[in-house]
Every structure is written in C-alpha cells, then in structure tokens.
Structure 1
Amino acid sequence: MSKYLVNKFLFTVDRDPELVERYREDPRGTVEWWEAARANTLLNCVGQEASTWLRFEDAEREALATHDHCALFALGAHPFLTLTLFIAMFERDHETLGYQKQYAERLAHFALPYPDIAT
C-alpha cells in the first residue's frame, strides 16, 4: 500500500473547497481523475516536476471511492486526514458533533495496536 499516496489524496483534496465538493458528489470520478491528473505531481512543487510511477492499489481506490474511512484506517491512512476531510464533506448533514461521533463509533471496533500510520 502507498500510505503516502492515500494521505496525499486526502491532504490535497481537503485543501481545495471545489475538490471537497467534487469528492462529496462524485467520489469515484474524483478518485479516478485525481489519480490520473495529480497523483504523480510532486506535493507543493511547480507543475513541471512530476514522478511517473505512483498509483493506488485496488483496495485503496475502492475505499476512497466509497468514502470508507474504516477501510482507509485499516489500510494505514492517517485518521486526522480522513477526519478533517470527511468533516468538511459530511458535518453539514448531522447535528453538532454528530458526524464526529459517528466517525468514532465506526472505528470503535479497532483495538490496540492500531494500524501503522507512519509513511
């Protein structure tokens, strides 16, 4: 698994309000577009610099495309990155702190040691 690439997706989408909305409305299309257009660009660098080998594994692509933060956590995605992005997308659909509580409840079945989130 490329924890780096999954975390890069979560980080970059969360910082662009238009991408947040695009990901909320069309998650699979956004993941496919981002992987093709942005996965190999270097983070915080000029557009001319890029790598050529980064791509999601099937499990990562599916978890991102279905907004499955539990699967992302199990795969090693950083929970703060998923939480901040998913709050931006879904908090509006819940009462105060409702989404955060639901997020935590869905992760409650994980026991120590948690999946490694180091990249």
Structure 2
Amino acid sequence: MSKYLLNKFLFTVDRDPELVERYREQPRATVEWWEAEYGNRILGCHTGESSTWLRFDDTEREALATHDHPKLFELGAHPFLTLTLFIAMFERDYAEPLGFQLEYARRLSHHDLPYPDIAT
C-alpha cells in the first residue's frame, strides 16, 4: 500500500480539469491509464526521471475506480485531497448548497478519533 501514490493520484488529477472529467466519466480506465503513464514519475517531473516500484494494490485501485472516498480515507488518503477532487466531480449532482460536502461528511461520520493516519 502506498499512501504517497494515492495522494499523488488525487493531487495530479485534481489539478487538471480534463483529467477531473475523465476520472468522473471513466474512473477505472483513468486509474489504469494514470498508473501506467504517471504513477512512477517523480512528482514535479514531466519526463525523464521515474521510479520503478510504485503500484496501487488491488484495494487502492478498486477504491479509486469506484470513487469510494470512505475507503480512500481508511487507506490513508488525505481527506483534503479527496474532498477537493470529489467536489469538482460531484457537487454539480446536488441541488442544495454544500450537497456533496454534507454527503461526504455523512459517509465518513462512522469514524471516531483517532482518524486513520494520513502521514505519507
């Protein structure tokens, strides 16, 4: 398991409006494509430098592919990264103000302190 890689995925997708839409519409394909193309690139490097060992495990890949933010939280993904990305993807689906944020909070409300470790 790599909290670093989970957070890197959430961060890089959130920074690109086209990737946000791609991830919303084709999550599984986007996760597979991103892992193959960008997962091993060193953060901040567009080409050239990369590592050879970073891969999502099956649990991480499935949580990302199904937009399962409670599972991502349990796996240690930073809640700020999941919240900002998922607001960009799903806020438009809610009629009431803060609709997605309230749903996000409701789906995480079963967690008690201490929360899962989000340190990378």
TM-score range (shorter-chain normalised) is over 0.9
Which structure 1 residue ranges, 5 or more long, are not aligned?
Answer: none
Matched with 1:2 is: 2
Calculate the aligned-residue CA RMSD, in Å.
0.6
**In 1, Cα distance between the equivalents of 2:32 and 2:53?**
15
Which structure 2 residue ranges, 5 or more long, are not aligned?
Answer: none
The CA deviation string for residues 14-53 of structure 1, in whole angstroms up to 9 with x for no partner, is 0000000000000000000000000001111241111111
TM-score normalised to structure 2 length: 0.97
Matched with 2:80 is: 80
Q: Aligned letter for 1:97?
A: L
**In 2, Cα distance between the equivalents of 1:20 and 1:46?**
19
Matched with 1:114 is: 115
Q: Could you say what secondary structure the match of 2:24 adopts?
A: helix
Give the paired residue count: 119
**In 2, Cα distance between the equivalents of 1:64 and 1:116?**
18
The sequence identity of aligned pairs, in percent, is 77
TM-score normalised to structure 1 length: 0.98
Post-superposition offset of 1:96: 1.3
Matched with 1:34 is: 34
The CA deviation string for residues 79-107 of structure 1, in whole angstroms up to 9 with x for no partner, is 00000000000001112100000000000
Matched with 1:49 is: 49
